[in-house]
Amino acid sequence: MPVNYATPDADQILPVAGVRLGVAEAGIRKKDRRDLTLVALDAGCTVAGVFTQNRFCAAPVQLCRDHLAGGREIRALVINTGIANAGTGESGHQAAQATCEAVGELLGVAADQVLPFSTGVILENLPVDRIRAGLPAALADLKADNWHAAAHAIMTTDTVAKVASRTVAVNGKKVTISGMSKGAGMIRPNMATMLGFVATDAGIAQAMLDRLVKEAADQSFNRITVDGDTSTNDSFIMIASGRSGAVFAEESDAGWAEVGAAIIALALELAQAIVRDGEGATKFITVAIDGGKDSGECRLVGYAIGHSPLVKTAFFASDPNLGRILAAIGYAGIQDLDVDGVRVWLDDVLVAENGGRAEAYQEQDGARVMEQAEITIRVDLGRGNASVTVYTCDFSYDYVKINADYRS
């Protein structure tokens, strides 16, 4: 079960004017499950995205990048689960292209106005015929208030759907923001095995949206790790329809700071939901690194702790074997780190300082914190003013079971 997360009720998820979603059962890998999602965008929407940095990136990722770079107005997204269409060579590219063409024919738009997304098993061919056959049902299901169903349809090993909404009042207008994400394993920054989609009815200039999607990713989906594996298919897409009448052309425009902050906050909520639903997770862990010379070295330490199987298994066992945290800090890659200046806390309990165990630390205090479902590891590097926060979870027996049975 996820750590302190439950999918919001459908009536809590708000429609975004200019964006309609439809789902269908296409039998892409398994029968009798929603596995195909179509998102139709009104004319005038701006769209931006960031994608995996895995060099073995999937065919749909490559096509998305090409279509966004081409400058044509994006009018649709198509998302399938079950098969990742990664490691499929030229046939994979043809399958992704054929999927875009099929959507374009249905909606009356060009293939390069469609962005394709796939998630699931790598090294298996995408059954385009099943997608093509399922698209009419997804088209018939298109509606603005379908985020809840779509969030369920993009799941793979997720145990719950991740979806969120919020509103912001600016300049006498109400701006709506809704989004969904999927992911539970193969989660690591830059980016994780995740798909994320956020839409708003604010109008946002293309250059601003391009910057915002990168900033939002860097503060959310690029700050999470479940198992340290970077996927082939990760994609985070942001859509701005402009239908609210609140339009932003410059960062200095009144109300932009509030809208931008709300979008980033929603992205962080969706990213944290992925960690809370990490495969086999029983604990949600915040790793807060302070006192770095720059954010880069803070990230090194945060990810070293967050990726460490030894740290993560200790947290699963509620075992305050906290020397594992010190070891991770030490091998993180800061060559001139003065360990005598490093301090480490578990929640409010000072664990280590002056190069070793804190004089006042008692193991029962660490054990008390380790029993909690949510824990913060805080590290002060004592080198400067930079800080970074990373979110992770523990490793349990179920993580191994889930991944051992992934293709079953």
48: CATH: 3.60.70.12
Question: Residue 54's pLDDT is what?
Answer: 76
Q: Tell me the C-alpha distance between 117 and 85, whole Å.
A: 9
* Cα distances (Å, whole numbers) of residue 201 to 178, 181, 238, 248: 9, 19, 11, 11
Closest by CA position to 83, among listed 42, 131, 51: 131
In-domain check, residue 1 = no
3-state secondary structure of 191: coil
What is the CATH number for 330? Answer: 3.10.20.340
Residues recorded for the chain: 408
In-domain check, residue 2 = no
Average of per-residue pLDDT across 39-68: 92
Same domain, 257 and 326: no
Model pLDDT for residues 233-251, shown as the tens digit of each residue: 789 999 999 999 999 999 9
Q: How many helices (H) and strands (E) does the chain have?
A: 11, 17
Query: Which of 46, 156, 193, 230 is labelled catalytic?
Result: 193
In-domain check, residue 16 = yes
Same domain, 243 and 297: no
Model pLDDT for residues 131-178, shown as the tens digit of each residue: 999 999 999 999 999 999 999 999 988 999 999 999 999 999 999 999
Same domain, 122 and 247: yes
Neighbours of 260 (CB within 10 A): 20
- As for how many domains the chain has, the answer is 2
In-domain check, residue 4 = no
Q: Of the candidates 223, 247, 276, which is a domain's last residue?
A: 276
Contact call for residues 375 and 392 (beta carbons, < 8 A): no
* Cα distances (Å, whole numbers) of residue 62 to 65, 189, 193, 233: 5, 19, 16, 9
Same domain, 377 and 245: no
Closest by CA position to 118, among listed 164, 66, 182, 69: 182
Contact call for residues 209 and 259 (beta carbons, < 8 A): no
Model pLDDT for residues 92-102, shown as the tens digit of each residue: 999 999 999 99
Question: Residue 399's pLDDT is what?
Answer: 80
Question: Residue 404's pLDDT is what?
Answer: 77
Model pLDDT for residues 212-223, shown as the tens digit of each residue: 999 999 999 989
Rounded to two decimals, the pTM is 0.93
Give yes or no: 193 in active site: yes
Closest by CA position to 181, among listed 201, 151, 157: 151
Same domain, 153 and 294: no
Question: Residue 186's pLDDT is what?
Answer: 46
Same domain, 236 and 347: no
Contact call for residues 86 and 56 (beta carbons, < 8 A): yes
Question: Residue 188's pLDDT is what?
Answer: 53
3-state secondary structure of 181: strand
In-domain check, residue 99 = yes
Q: Of the candidates 276, 306, 337, which is a domain's last residue?
A: 276
Question: Residue 313's pLDDT is what?
Answer: 95
Going across the sheet that includes 343-346, the strands are 356-357, 349-353, 343-346, 374-380, 284-292, 386-393
Model pLDDT for residues 196-216, shown as the tens digit of each residue: 999 999 999 999 999 999 999
Question: Residue 314's pLDDT is what?
Answer: 96
Residue 110 carries which DSSP code?
A: -
Same domain, 229 and 103: yes
Same domain, 58 and 145: yes
State the DSSP H helix or E strand holding residue 197, giving kind and residue range, or none if neither.
Answer: strand 195-200
Question: Residue 191's pLDDT is what?
Answer: 37
Share of the chain above pLDDT 70, in %: 95
In-domain check, residue 223 = yes
Question: Residue 227's pLDDT is what?
Answer: 58
Which residues have CB under 8 Å from 84's CB, separation 6+? 58, 118, 119, 120, 121, 122, 124, 232, 233
State the DSSP H helix or E strand holding residue 199, giving kind and residue range, or none if neither.
Answer: strand 195-200
Question: Residue 189's pLDDT is what?
Answer: 47
3-state secondary structure of 28: coil
Which residues have CB under 8 Å from 45's CB, separation 6+? 18, 19, 73, 74, 75, 239, 240, 241, 242
Same domain, 300 and 238: no
Reported confidence tier of residue 190, pLDDT bands at 50, 70, 90: very low
DSSP-assigned states of every residue in 299-317: HHHHHHHHH-HHHHHHHHT
Q: Of the candidates 276, 300, 327, which is a domain's last residue?
A: 276
Least confident of 60-74, 181-195, 339-353, 378-392: 181-195
Same domain, 109 and 161: yes
Domain containing 213 equals 10-276
Same domain, 268 and 288: no
Same domain, 272 and 289: no
